[in-house]
Structure 1
Amino acid sequence: MLCEHCEAFDIQDFSPHGKSFQESKHGQTRDILSLKRGQDAGCAFCNLLMEHVREGLAMAESVKGKELELSIHVEANSLGGDGTQKSLQDGLRINRFFVSIRPRYVPYDVAAWHGKWPIHIERDLCVISDPASPARKAEDVVGQWLGHDLSSDHHFETISRWLHSCLTHSQCNQTLSQKRIWNIWEVPLPLRCVELLSHGKGIRLRETDGQRGAYITLSHRWTADTGRCGTTASNYNARLEGKEFPWLSQVFRDALKVTERMGVRYIWIDTLCIIQDGDGGKDWRQEAPKMSQYYQYSLLTISAAVSSPAMGIFNAKIPDKIPQKLVRLPYRDSECCQKGHFYVYERGVGLFAQYEMALQASQFPNRGWIFQEWLLSRRVIYYTDYGLFFECQAHSSKNDSQELAQPITSSQYSPKEINLHPELRWAHIDNTNSNLKVRIGLGKTPPEELWYRLIESYSFRDLTRPEEDRLIALSGIKDAFEEILQQTPGTHWSSEYIAGVWISDVHYSLLWHKEQDSLNDSKVKNLPSWSWAALIAKVRWPRRGQVIPACEISLAGQPEDYEAVSSSPQRISLNLESITSPPGPIIVPHSLQVHGKLIPVLLRQGISQSDELQPVMYITDFEETFNCENIRQVCSISNPYLVGGWGSLEALEVQERLQRSQGATVFALHVSTRKVHKSAIRLGSLWGSYDIFEVLYLDCVGEGKYCRVGVGRIYEQALLDDFSKVNKISFELV
């Protein structure tokens, strides 16, 4: 049953030419009293709206004041399958309603200025129509109910439409370094692929080196079942003949089905296409440098982001896929003639929240290997517990109804690239609503900043064997970044890259610090203390500024003195280097040769209160977030009560020394001088323009050898003068 008002519902009001456009901005507004009357009279749509805004109304009542009457405003999501606004000739293409609460009579712009209104309802209303209905044929309502079965024809038709649309995006037809991919259907094939034989005759491992075509890649978590499927030296020849595939994991079988249904002949699965055992790791070392190309040139990547891989990718739980309280509304065409109906129902969990929970349940964002696969893949289909999500370079993730997964932040609901929290989601750049992948594709992030944003997003992710994989799991991103450097005119960076650090930017690279919420971090034993890669934790770099290097830093020793860190032939996850890189181990030096000034300083108790820490950070031109427990006062040896700087410590042994005594002596290396201009706060003599020393804190571990224990800044003139009293010395930083 519908009330008189809802019986007259006209979806054309959401058009720019709709009759209520001037009053309600592509939507419809109803006052609360009218909706309550309709609800009391048994109107299904009024009841749906009132139930939908129940929690929001409680919030609104607390801020509205007695003089305001409230109304509910409904806006439509009018995005096409590719996430772009359609022309007026294409129909409204509505698949969602967004609901907000606002004062009935207060002008919208004035209310927004006060920052209280409108109050947006996080969950959205899904708008769907039957495939043969007039609403669908006119492309006014394009939302669809696909059902539970992710292997259904409807789902594959949706994937095909999305892929066809994505291939028209210029950003999606270029690599991470923006190299043009002219024909995705005729790209160089990997050394080997799994070939799907015609007429359902099975599969075989195929040597495809030197051939061209299209292929799909699979991104998956390594499980106990994965190893049982692997190609080995003993079954390799048989697999070339289509034999020796007695058992495949359900994820692999489902991925093969997706490939077949998409009409693609080849799929690349690391476990099947790289020899896992029996050759001493030779094939792994040859294939690892090629995976960057494999993922960037694939037609699409299937992401098995399900919480239970043993059940495959089609058996999603889909807890929110059954429509509750389905309401039928009349459909009126552009001539105001009623022609059939369409349907509205409430999503139990907001789409953006669904996307978050799906990734959290799969544990995908926490894995170091998978981060690289995601970043390099041009198109990704996520099979999750909440259904399908699609992602490409041009637009944020969408679900299987072509709905953009985006936070509710704007009354206009324009498509925004999502910014995902680092523990649950993929990538982050400070607090902006910008998808890192989209920013790279559009060239929005300067190369000198891009590398550090990538590392910040990768640094805390899990690796089963960090001693072996910490750098290899990043090598493909490193290679793509090197291509970006080569294409950037005027860059001062060279290609000398060691232990995750570009030597030409080594002074800045050494200034990484452990971020505030770095918990359960651990050391990587075979990596040098000065590299961010030696610590599995969230790390960040300070904002660049007017900085002058204060010491000379170069690689110590000769290449033959470096340690070769090879990968494990027993566990093959996705490692990425460029196709042109020679096969071989990743080389890691033990030390840097430093010629600079060292002075002993005393580390004292921490700065326990954030209100004490904030002015110190401001005056030292440091705008990042720290865990106060890791921040220590830095004092002069000659005057232990003179606090002249601060330090952020990551070395556990130094923290333990501090707990056992009133202080701990370490050495401060003057890395660079930062020119600061501050006038809002005065700290002692610091005000206006002055110099701050950026330092590393070191421990002596042998004659002429030091290791890093922390990072920080020195600002007190007495400590700055101590540096001027000593000469530069040469030593090894290990």
Structure 2
Amino acid sequence: MPLCQSCASFDLYSLWRRPSGSVCLRLSDLLNARSHCDFCSLLCDHFASQIASLTQNSQCRIWLSLRNTADSMGDGSRYEFSRLTATFTKEEFGGYPVQLCLVASQGSPAAKSGHFVGRYLGSDPKSPHHFAAIRTWLDGCLNHPACEIHLSGSRSIDPRNSPLPTRCVELIEGRTFQLSETGNKVGSYITLTHRWNEETPAASTTMSNLEERRIGRGWETLTKTFLDTIEVARRMRIQYVWIDSICIVQSGDDQKDWNLEASKMAVYYRNSLMTVAAVDASKEDGFLLARAKDAMFKRLVRLPYFDVASVPKGHIFVYIPEFDASKSHYDTYNRGLLTRGWVFQEWLLSRRILYFAKNQLVFECQSRRPKNENNEVLFAEESSGFSTYQSVLKMKYAIREESQKGVVPDRFSTWYTIVEKYSQQTLTFPEKDYVVAISGLAQEFRNTLASANERVSANVSLEYVSGLWLEDIHYGLLWHLKDRVAAEDAKAQVSTASSWSWCSLLLPIFWLPRRARTRNEMQVIGLKTTEGHMLSVDGNSPVRGVQYLRELAPQQDNSGESDTEDMGWSRLAPGSLLVRGRLTPVYIGTNLSTKDLRLVANVPGHSFHTVPADSSKAWRIVVSPQETGIIAGYGSFERPQIQKQLCRYETTVVLALHISSTDGVGLVTAVLARVLGLEIPVVYNVLFLEPQGRGKYSRLGVGSIFDTRLQGILKAAGEEVIELV
């Protein structure tokens, strides 16, 4: 139906050139019209309840404004239209804006103009239109300079001709496939990221079905998700597919193959042509099922298209979406796929990801914002809680930017952000996977540190031990638990990890903000692995014996790269951290009251003010054995044994190990204080320990001491060698 009189002069280009950037449709014209065009009907249907409450003489209007949604990384001078905003003027009748999507048909003048980026591809994700869009997106991404390099920016590998994983599902002519040993071949392959479920073990490769699958048999138990992933590769004409549970032997060989391949998974994901993310896959239908007819919209309306000279040339289409495309996609991160530890790492390491969700297909690479199948750029809102997370992590070059600063605290800030997010994930086999499932990110981060250290100092340790970096261990040890009550659950304890590492608890952790003027007060002198191997540390030089550990657990991969080999020893988590420092007994008293909390928050030199007031019950008073009536500091405790003692007794004696000291004033104030002979307030950062035998101690919690008398006692204590287990 042609446009009615009220819409007859509707011209998007003239609309964009207007100073106000908007036009209006008078409500009286709509109500008095003998017949409405499709566009007016679409608006009237949406605002039906408001219009019904008004008289024909109302002067209310529906304002239309055009939104330029060009990708922020692209050419900002171009007009790339994808949204039209309709706003009803009467606030009492719902003056909220309604987003209308603008799309053009493939091959139409509007599409060829390059100004209308939106496309409607239909409701079947298996359609030729969808896979043509995937190829276009993939070809574009392969020309992005920032997408050619790894997360750390260390090197570039052509994903169309990269080293293949040890095993891949190889597609044969027709519709057959087999599990192939790739040797030293190169080529292109896709990877899958998904959530394991109860069907995954039955579909996995084991020693009992390995030989069958090598000859193309034994695939009866494959899940629909796996079959759909193979179908994606077939339609994209990609010969190889890598799926963890299929390409790694899961049982029957005493975990030998898994132990070897797990350390290579990071390389597999970052070198793949793209990763398929099965966001909303179902057991019965997989992720390639056609959507319901009205999943995206109920009505598609045609509008005339005018070129830049206002000459009519065909049409474009408009519809009101049934869901918010950006919100729907970012819900995937917060509540969906990215609640799993392995998936979190796979997401960060993959340079290109293709999301198959229940209502849209989304393309994402490491240098552009995500786009959906309609070619619409997706933006995270501040209220979603994801925008900061994305800016730090998903825009992956942020890690490389951190490495350029050359300052130790700045270089490590991204790592702690990654760990805080990772600690919120879940794992099916935490005892086995907790350290390994983040080791790929540690490999990339180590490359970043190595690159930075070429400009900083050759004598800086790059050793990674149990989720922490030896170069920054004095800050890394001071992690806090977000929920101390949950720590009482035995399921939250990881018996294979050392108590001083955050890997020892399957619970969310965080670090208080780092203070600039901090001095290290404890010296790391060695490491002891669970296998009994001793490693010594000489001052600030790298850990001696690393070459020996490489020989002990060689992790060669067929990519010809060295970083997997370099990080192979990281899986040999040390059982003990040998340090030289000062210990003193302290009393742990009652919970901090509201008054105590205000007192502590006003003490210069620490970041306690960043802790929410309603979490005061998680924090305990620290007092000196000599001055039990004065608050000397505070602490938080995560171990079940100390939690029970604190509930049973009014005071409990623990040992405090002095880790570092922080000045409570700025540099200028400190200089003036020294000139005037004034005392500078200092806070001691400490670990609370419990004896575990001669010279051995386990961690109970973390805290700060700000009372000068107790600090004096701690400072007067003689240094001793302490083994943290």
**TM value normalised by structure 2:** 0.82
Specify the alignment match of 2:708 in structure 1. Answer: 717
Q: Secondary structure at the match of 1:694?
A: strand
Residue 36 of structure 1 contacts residue 50 of structure 1 at CA under 8 Å; is this kept in 2?
no
Specify the alignment match of 1:111 in structure 2. Answer: none
Q: 1:53, CA displacement in angstroms?
A: 8.8
Specify the alignment match of 1:568 in structure 2. Answer: none
Q: Does 1:218 align with 2:207?
A: no
Aligned ranges 1:246-257 → 2 under 5 Å: 246-257=220-231
Residue-by-residue CA offset, 1:34-87 (whole Å, 9 max, x unaligned): 543345346665675688799999xxxxxxxxxxx998562323426x962366
Segments of structure 1 that go 5 or more residues without pairing to the other structure are 58-68, 105-118, 410-418, 565-575
Further displaced range: 723-732 or 363-372: 723-732
Specify the alignment match of 2:522 in structure 1. Answer: 551
Q: Does 1:592 align with 2:577?
A: yes
Structure 1's 618 and 398: CA in aligned 2 closer, same or farther, altered over 3 A? Answer: farther
Distance 2:75 2:524 in 1: 52
Q: Does 1:294 align with 2:268?
A: yes
Specify the alignment match of 2:546 in structure 1. Answer: none
Residue 480 of structure 2 contacts residue 511 of structure 2 at CA under 8 Å; is this kept in 1?
yes
Structure 1's 590 and 132: CA in aligned 2 closer, same or farther, altered over 3 A? Answer: closer
Q: Does 1:654 align with 2:648?
A: no
Structure 1's 87 and 223: CA in aligned 2 closer, same or farther, altered over 3 A? Answer: same
Aligned ranges 1:171-182 → 2 under 5 Å: 171-182=146-157
Q: 1:536, CA displacement in angstroms?
A: 1.6
Distance 1:526 1:693 in 2: 30
Residue-by-residue CA offset, 1:347-393 (whole Å, 9 max, x unaligned): 233222111334456x3211001111111111001111222111111
Q: 1:608, CA displacement in angstroms?
A: 4.7
Q: 1:461, CA displacement in angstroms?
A: 1.0
Structure 1's 140 and 471: CA in aligned 2 closer, same or farther, altered over 3 A? Answer: same
Q: Secondary structure at the match of 1:602?
A: strand
Segments of structure 2 that go 5 or more residues without pairing to the other structure are 52-59, 404-410, 535-548, 550-560
Q: Does 1:644 align with 2:619?
A: no
Q: Secondary structure at the match of 2:74?
A: coil
Residue-by-residue CA offset, 1:468-507 (whole Å, 9 max, x unaligned): 1111111111112222222212156423222112223211
Aligned ranges 1:189-588 → 2 under 5 Å: 189-198=164-173, 200-306=174-280, 308-315=282-289, 321-359=295-333, 363-408=336-381, 421=385, 431=388, 434-440=391-397, 443-446=400-403, 447-488=411-452, 489=454, 490=456, 493-515=460-482, 522-544=492-514, 545-557=516-528, 560-561=531-532, 578-580=563-565, 586-588=571-573
Structure 1's 14 and 692: CA in aligned 2 closer, same or farther, altered over 3 A? Answer: farther
Amino acid at match of 2:581: G
Residue 259 of structure 1 contacts residue 266 of structure 1 at CA under 8 Å; is this kept in 2?
yes
Alignment match of 2:74 (pick from 61, 84, 87): 84
Aligned ranges 1:108-119 → 2 under 5 Å: none
Amino acid at match of 2:133: T
Residue 289 of structure 1 contacts residue 581 of structure 1 at CA under 8 Å; is this kept in 2?
no
Specify the alignment match of 2:28 in structure 1. Answer: 37
Q: Secondary structure at the match of 1:256?
A: helix
Residue 302 of structure 2 contacts residue 318 of structure 2 at CA under 8 Å; is this kept in 1?
yes
Further displaced range: 462-471 or 485-494: 485-494
Q: Secondary structure at the match of 2:450?
A: helix
Distance 1:559 1:398 in 2: 47
Distance 1:383 1:517 in 2: 37
Q: Secondary structure at the match of 2:703?
A: strand
Distance 1:554 1:688 in 2: 32
Residue-by-residue CA offset, 1:492-523 (whole Å, 9 max, x unaligned): 64232221122232111101112369967722
Distance 1:432 1:365 in 2: 12
Alignment match of 2:611 (pick from 601, 604, 625): 625
Distance 1:84 1:180 in 2: 24
Structure 1's 155 and 496: CA in aligned 2 closer, same or farther, altered over 3 A? Answer: same
Structure 1's 689 and 272: CA in aligned 2 closer, same or farther, altered over 3 A? Answer: same
Amino acid at match of 2:353: V
Specify the alignment match of 2:10 in structure 1. Answer: 9
Q: 1:223, CA displacement in angstroms?
A: 2.0
Residue 645 of structure 1 contacts residue 716 of structure 1 at CA under 8 Å; is this kept in 2?
yes
Residue 399 of structure 2 contacts residue 448 of structure 2 at CA under 8 Å; is this kept in 1?
no
Distance 2:599 2:562 in 1: 42
Residue-by-residue CA offset, 1:441-464 (whole Å, 9 max, x unaligned): 672334322222221121121111
Distance 1:78 1:168 in 2: 22
Structure 1's 338 and 70: CA in aligned 2 closer, same or farther, altered over 3 A? Answer: closer
Aligned ranges 1:591-610 → 2 under 5 Å: 591-609=576-594
Q: Does 1:667 align with 2:655?
A: yes
Amino acid at match of 2:320: E
Residue-by-residue CA offset, 1:103-158 (whole Å, 9 max, x unaligned): 99xxxxxxxxxxxxxx984x632112333543223333332222221111111111
Residue-by-residue CA offset, 1:527-557 (whole Å, 9 max, x unaligned): 1111011112222223332111112223354
Identity of aligned pairs, percent?
32
Distance 1:514 1:326 in 2: 51
Distance 1:611 1:726 in 2: 28
Residue 606 of structure 1 contacts residue 633 of structure 1 at CA under 8 Å; is this kept in 2?
yes
Distance 1:583 1:475 in 2: 9
Amino acid at match of 1:526: T
Residue 678 of structure 1 contacts residue 689 of structure 1 at CA under 8 Å; is this kept in 2?
no
Amino acid at match of 1:539: I
Structure 1's 641 and 125: CA in aligned 2 closer, same or farther, altered over 3 A? Answer: farther
Specify the alignment match of 1:727 in structure 2. Answer: 718
Structure 1's 168 and 505: CA in aligned 2 closer, same or farther, altered over 3 A? Answer: same
Q: Is the helix fraction higher in 1 or 2?
A: 2
Distance 1:476 1:335 in 2: 54
Amino acid at match of 1:537: L
Residue 93 of structure 1 contacts residue 142 of structure 1 at CA under 8 Å; is this kept in 2?
yes
Distance 1:53 1:634 in 2: 62
Structure 1's 558 and 330: CA in aligned 2 closer, same or farther, altered over 3 A? Answer: closer
Q: Secondary structure at the match of 2:664?
A: strand
Amino acid at match of 1:297: N
Q: 1:231, CA displacement in angstroms?
A: 2.2
Structure 1's 554 and 181: CA in aligned 2 closer, same or farther, altered over 3 A? Answer: same
Distance 2:693 2:293 in 1: 60
Specify the alignment match of 1:116 in structure 2. Answer: none
Q: CA RMSD in A?
A: 3.6
Structure 1's 376 and 556: CA in aligned 2 closer, same or farther, altered over 3 A? Answer: closer
Residue 645 of structure 1 contacts residue 712 of structure 1 at CA under 8 Å; is this kept in 2?
yes
Structure 1's 615 and 722: CA in aligned 2 closer, same or farther, altered over 3 A? Answer: closer
Amino acid at match of 1:494: S
Q: Does 1:702 align with 2:693?
A: yes
Structure 1's 727 and 582: CA in aligned 2 closer, same or farther, altered over 3 A? Answer: closer
Q: 1:603, CA displacement in angstroms?
A: 2.0
Q: Secondary structure at the match of 2:585?
A: strand
Specify the alignment match of 1:108 in structure 2. Answer: none
Q: Does 1:28 align with 2:22?
A: yes
